[in-house]
Structure formats: structure tokens, C-alpha cells
Chain A
């Protein structure tokens, strides 16, 4: 029943206020309430319901600013372990009706919608609505769905009908009129820098963008911009990635749960982040050649450095030695640190790396790492961890610190 046979249709599914919807799925009394999801520090609103948004509360707003704007608001602590469960259930539901699904982010999916009509035995727009309702009833999360000829158009279509809407955008005239007034910043891939360049040329709407000569767009925004131009003309040039392409870098870190200059605590954070980093490298099956450490001070300044490792590795003792070496060089006693980030680059798959014949990791290190992985897999994350992390007993006591958004693997976007 596809009206365009022989051409792929792309669907885009976007969960409506996803974190809040996840909380509502397990606590139905939150329906209709102005709900804010707080960061793990309890300081900032990281997601909000439409009711809260209507009161002028934006993402990232500190709770002490949000409270006077909406004294009736109710706040809940984020729980990424639960959000991941519902996110994957949502993807599984889409996989039942589509042969190809891209896990784009925790709350967004692209999929091949070519078979949607046939699966639901209904015209495309009705089939999209049935998919939306199926996810709502089975997962408990409201979603918006867009279907079109390219990723970019499908995403714009879905965004235009939020919340809980569906839009099928196939007719060229309808597409043209839809794009006419849509701000150019709405295109996924147009950030503020690109928007500034386009505005300077009086390209302010998606309609302006699509009507501009392709070569001009290419000159302004390189081939990435040109790809978007084709996509807006209904020519799909950006493929669906059903498997995440290999990472170019892997990092771990974040806030230190409040500013600190306690050296024992800082060293404990360093070890915790190296353990998390090794876990991520293991998960991706890669080793790294370069390592860097960055500390954000309370003053807002960053300090840090990087190093090239003697050989590609993902071994905890070696990465910890590199991290400690940099930390000792850059950290001055008394500096108050708010954030710490560890990053690795020049990654290679383990099986593709020539191992050193002279500087092999000790059998004891290899066995310790194996046992640690095994026990943590069976008993729970961080069940076995370095003793140097003991000063962070409060962090480990809070189970929500054991699962962050970067621990949700397989998605293309952060």
C-alpha cells in the first residue's frame, strides 16, 4: 500500500518528554502534573513535562530558579536504568514492524517505514498512528511519528506534530508548503554556527534553504550541508545506521557531585573514572593509543594534559598510571575541582593490534581484570572495585550513580 513503490520511506519516532513519560509509566499519578526530572546532583532540571514548560521552566534551569516559577511543581530524581529499559522496549516494538531500525538516541529512532502500511494493513498515515498507539499502550510512553522520503524530512515532520502526533510528508506540494515557514535551525545538523552563516545570506527558513542553489549551500556548509539540501528535496542520502559505527573516541567523567579540593577524594574520582573508562573500552572491544585528562576548576578554567601511551592498551593499571601521572603534573594543591573528564583516542579493535613482545601485561593483572569483570557481571556493577575509591562511599551508596546516560550503549547520539 505504499504510494511510492520501489522507494524507501523513512520513519522517525520521537518520544514526548521522554524522561517524564518514563516516570509517568511507573507512577501514573504524575499524569497531568507539572513534573521536573532533576540531575543526579539535585541541582538542575534536566527534563520537564509540558505542564512545567508552560510555566517558563527550561531544561538546565537550577531548581531554586524553577521553584518560584511553579511552586506546585513536583520533582523526581533521574533514573537512567529505568529510562534505558523503556527506550529498548520502544526500539523492540519498532523492530516488529520495520526491517531496519537506527537507535539514534535514548528517545529517538529512525526506521525503514516502507512496510508500515502492509504490516498494519492500512493507509500510511493510519499505519503511523497505529504504531504510535501500539507503543503508547505497550510501553506506556507517548511518541510522535513522522514519515517521509528522507531522514531530515521525517524528523522535521515528527517535530512539527509534537506531542503525540503523526505526520506523513510525501506529496511534493505539501512538503514545499510545510517547509516554507519552518525556521532553518529546525533542521537536524544545523547548529548555531551554520545558522549564522545562513542568516547572513538571508536564508532563514527551511523553504529558503531548499530553494537556494545547491552549490551555494555546499560552499557555505560543505558536503554536510549539501547532503541536507538533497534530503530536503526528498532524495535520501543519509543512510540508516542499524549498527553503531565504531567510536573515534571513548571518554568517561562528569561532575564530582559538588566542588572539592580534598586530595583523597580527587584521587578516588580519578580511579573511579579510569575503572568506568576501562569498562567502556572493554565493552567496545578496543584499545587506545592516546589518553587525556581534563579538570574543570570552580573558577571555570580547565586544566589538563594528554599523553601517547607506550602501546595501545585498555589495561586498568596502565591507564591509571597515565591518569595519575597527568594529575600529579597539572593539579595544584588547593585548587577546587568541579568536573573531571578522561578521554581516549586513536582506538583500534583488539584483534587488529600487534601486541608488544617485550612489555606484556603481567599474568596477575590479566587475571585480576578477568575476575573483576566476571564478578561485576554476575553480582552487579562496582561489586569489586579499587580500594582507592573508598573515599567515595556516598557516591557508590546511591544506585543511580551506577548508570549514566553514557552507559546506554548502541545509540548514535549522546
Chain B
């Protein structure tokens, strides 16, 4: 589905890099390649960048365990479930997750603008962002061997 996203460092404001200590996440894939900042699900405190209410912010990504009661466990939200109203009690709001590359089952693939996501809220808790998913296209299924894929912004692969 989505195990992480990578965004060019130049696309993240310096104040967010400082605030969230993102320097440690900077990587380059080649000698001449630009710097990227990675947001991986497997990290201790998984975060995702997201555009919400006209602002780019860094948000907690999903919910790691059932012990964090109230939020659905996991990192992804089925589009069909959202549309059926299953998540209504968490006041879902749409967000856009900017990304240049997305990771799924060890495969990094290029995306044009990013992914669609949803921001969920609970009283007295920090909001959480989930990646919206849908049934995988044939191409995506062959590439990643996954039957779900993220909902991409402004494109379909």
C-alpha cells in the first residue's frame, strides 16, 4: 500500500526541517542526485508531510497499536470505508500528502504530485494522517504485488 514517501528537501520549508529535526532523515540516492527527506512507516515515530487548510505541516502518521485507543490501528484508510461513513465519528478531513517518490514493498516509484490522505481528530489528542487507498491497478499490482494502492494526486498509474 504505502510504506513511506520521500520528498525533495528543497520542497520542505527550513522551519519545518528545524522544528521536526528532519536533518537526520536526509538521504541521496546518487552522487549527482538531489537531497530527499524520507518519511517511513517503520520509524519509531512515523510522520507524514501533509497540506491541510492551506498549510504544509508534519503530522503523526496513523496509529501503531491498539493501545492508542480511539484512532483506527494502521496507516491507511480504505477509500470505500471512508465513503461508506465508517470514519465519520473521527471528523475526517481531506489532506494532500506531497511526495516525489513512494515506497511499497521495497519498490520506490515516481509520483507526479503526491497522495491523497485523510486527517482524523479526537478531543485532547494530536490529529493523525492516514494514506487513502483504493483497489490496485493491474500495473501497480504487478509492480508491487499488492492488491491495494494509494490514491494518487492528479494521476493514475
List residues of chain A with CB under 8 Å of any chain B CB. Answer: 23, 27, 29-35, 38, 40-43, 51, 63, 67, 71-77, 257-258, 394, 397-399
CA A42 to CA B140, docked complex, whole Å: 7
**Is the pair B142, A258 in contact by a Cβ cutoff of 8 Å?**
yes
**Is the pair B107, A33 in contact by a Cβ cutoff of 8 Å?**
no
**Residue among B141, B142, B143 having the largest count of chain A Cβ atoms under 10 Å:** B142
- A74 and B30 contact, Cβ closer than 8 Å, known pairs A42-B143, A398-B137: no
**Is the pair B143, A75 in contact by a Cβ cutoff of 8 Å?**
yes
**Is the pair A258, B138 in contact by a Cβ cutoff of 8 Å?**
yes
**Is the pair A75, B110 in contact by a Cβ cutoff of 8 Å?**
yes
Min Cβ gap A74→B in Å is 5
**Is the pair B29, A72 in contact by a Cβ cutoff of 8 Å?**
yes
Report the stretch among B31-39, B51-59, B74-82, B126-134 that lies at the interface. B31-39
Chain A residues with Cβ below 8 Å from B143 are 38, 42-43, 63, 75
Known: A29-B100, A71-B106. 15 other contacts (CB 8 A): A32-B31, A33-B29, A33-B30, A34-B29, A35-B110, A38-B143, A41-B138, A42-B139, A42-B141, A67-B107, A74-B109, A75-B110, A394-B137, A398-B137, A399-B156
Q: Is B157 part of the contact surface with A, judged by Cβ < 8 Å?
A: yes
| A-B complex: 7 closest residue pairs judged by Cβ atoms | A32-B32, A42-B143, A32-B33, A42-B142, A42-B139, A76-B110, A72-B29
Q: Is B71 part of the contact surface with A, judged by Cβ < 8 Å?
A: no
Tell me the total A-B contact number using a CB cutoff of 8 A.
72
**Is the pair B139, A32 in contact by a Cβ cutoff of 8 Å?**
no
| 11 pairs, CB–CB < 8 Å, chain A vs chain B | A29-B8, A32-B30, A33-B33, A34-B30, A38-B143, A41-B142, A42-B140, A63-B107, A77-B139, A257-B138, A398-B137
Min Cβ gap A240→B in Å is 36
List residues of chain B with CB under 8 Å of any chain A CB. Answer: 8, 29-34, 100-101, 106-110, 112, 137-143, 156-157
**Is the pair A74, B157 in contact by a Cβ cutoff of 8 Å?**
no
Chain A residues with Cβ below 8 Å from B101 are 74
Chain A residues with Cβ below 8 Å from B139 are 38, 40-42, 77, 398
Chain B residues with Cβ below 8 Å from A40 are 139
Chain B residue nearest in CB terms to A258: B138
The prevalent SS among residues of A at the interface is: mixed
**Is the pair A43, B142 in contact by a Cβ cutoff of 8 Å?**
yes
**Is the pair B34, A27 in contact by a Cβ cutoff of 8 Å?**
no
**Residue among A34, A77, A399 having the largest count of chain B Cβ atoms under 10 Å:** A77
CA A51 to CA B31, docked complex, whole Å: 10
Chain A residue nearest in CB terms to B106: A67
- A75 and B140 contact, Cβ closer than 8 Å, known pairs A29-B100, A31-B32, A32-B30: no
Min Cβ gap A44→B in Å is 9
Chain B residues with Cβ below 8 Å from A29 are 8, 34, 100
Q: Which of A31, A51, A73, A258 contacts B108 (CB 8 A)?
A: A73
Chain A residue nearest in CB terms to B8: A29
CA A42 to CA B149, docked complex, whole Å: 14
Chain B residue nearest in CB terms to A66: B107
**Is the pair B34, A32 in contact by a Cβ cutoff of 8 Å?**
yes
Chain B residue nearest in CB terms to A26: B112
CA A303 to CA B70, docked complex, whole Å: 59
Min Cβ gap B111→A in Å is 9
CA A257 to CA B139, docked complex, whole Å: 8
- A31 and B34 contact, Cβ closer than 8 Å, known pairs A258-B142, A398-B137, A398-B139: yes
Min Cβ gap A312→B in Å is 37
CA A111 to CA B31, docked complex, whole Å: 35
Chain A residues with Cβ below 8 Å from B29 are 32-34, 72, 74
CA A32 to CA B30, docked complex, whole Å: 6
**Is the pair B157, A72 in contact by a Cβ cutoff of 8 Å?**
no
Min Cβ gap B72→A in Å is 29
Chain B residues with Cβ below 8 Å from A394 are 137-138
Chain B residues with Cβ below 8 Å from A27 are 100, 110, 112
Min Cβ gap B33→A in Å is 4
CA A269 to CA B140, docked complex, whole Å: 21
Chain A residues with Cβ below 8 Å from B137 are 394, 398
Q: Which of A34, A43, A72, A76 contacts B109 (CB 8 A)?
A: A76
Min Cβ gap B39→A in Å is 16
Chain A residues with Cβ below 8 Å from B157 are 77
Min Cβ gap A400→B in Å is 8
**Is the pair A31, B33 in contact by a Cβ cutoff of 8 Å?**
yes
**Is the pair B107, A75 in contact by a Cβ cutoff of 8 Å?**
yes
Chain A residues with Cβ below 8 Å from B108 are 72-75
**Residue among B8, B29, B100 having the largest count of chain A Cβ atoms under 10 Å:** B29
Chain A residues with Cβ below 8 Å from B107 are 63, 67, 75
CA A76 to CA B101, docked complex, whole Å: 10
CA A42 to CA B142, docked complex, whole Å: 6
Chain A residues with Cβ below 8 Å from B142 are 41-43, 258
**Is the pair B138, A51 in contact by a Cβ cutoff of 8 Å?**
no
Chain A residues with Cβ below 8 Å from B138 are 41-42, 257-258, 394, 398
CA A71 to CA B140, docked complex, whole Å: 18
Chain B residues with Cβ below 8 Å from A67 are 106-107
Chain B residues with Cβ below 8 Å from A74 are 29, 101, 108-110
CA A34 to CA B31, docked complex, whole Å: 10
